[in-house]
Amino acid sequence: MKSDAKPVYLKLRDVIAAAILDGEYKEGDMLPSVRAFAADQGANPLTVAKAYQLFQDSGLVDVKRGVGLFVAGGAVAKLRSFEREHFVKNVWPDVKAQMQRAGVDPAELLALC
């Protein structure tokens, strides 16, 4: 059984990534300040800063000193690629195994959509 425990900074990273992928923040848009996002999420600003640092390290945001963080060009494509890779490697094997145990036919599922 896999553990669902995930550090808070990674959960915050996922919230930001989802907001970018969902179009809440478009490429070129400014992200909320560390303090504003921390207040909104009920998190420690240092934890938010750590999550934002992951985006900087991955080239997903552009930093304008004294102004803020902006979603970098190409960030959506990179995030989609990361999400796809994560899904295929970490989520799909468990889903596939559960479908097989339950006798669920993927074709039947697709027909329902």
Q: Which helix (H) or strand (E) holds 26?
A: none
Torsions phi, psi of 59, nearest 5?
Answer: 75, 25
**What is the rounded distance in angstroms from the CA atom of residue 44 to the CA atom of residue 46?**
5
Model pLDDT, residue 86? 94
What are the boundaries of each domain within the chain?
1-75, 84-112
Total-model pTM? 0.83
CATH ID of 1-75, from 3.40.50.10490, 2.20.25.90, 3.40.1710.10, 1.10.10.10: 1.10.10.10
Q: How confident is the model at residue 1 (pLDDT cuts 50, 70, 90)?
A: very low
- For residue 96, the tally of other CB atoms under 10 A from its CB is 12
pLDDT of 3 strictly over 70: no
Taking alpha carbons only, the member of 73, 64, 61, 79 closest to residue 22 is 79
Tokens of 83: 């999400």
Mean of the per-residue pLDDT values of the chain = 93
Structure confidence by residue, pLDDT tens digits, 11-26: 999 999 999 999 999 9
- Burial (CB count within 10 angstroms: exposed 0-12, middle 13-18, buried 19+), residue 8: middle
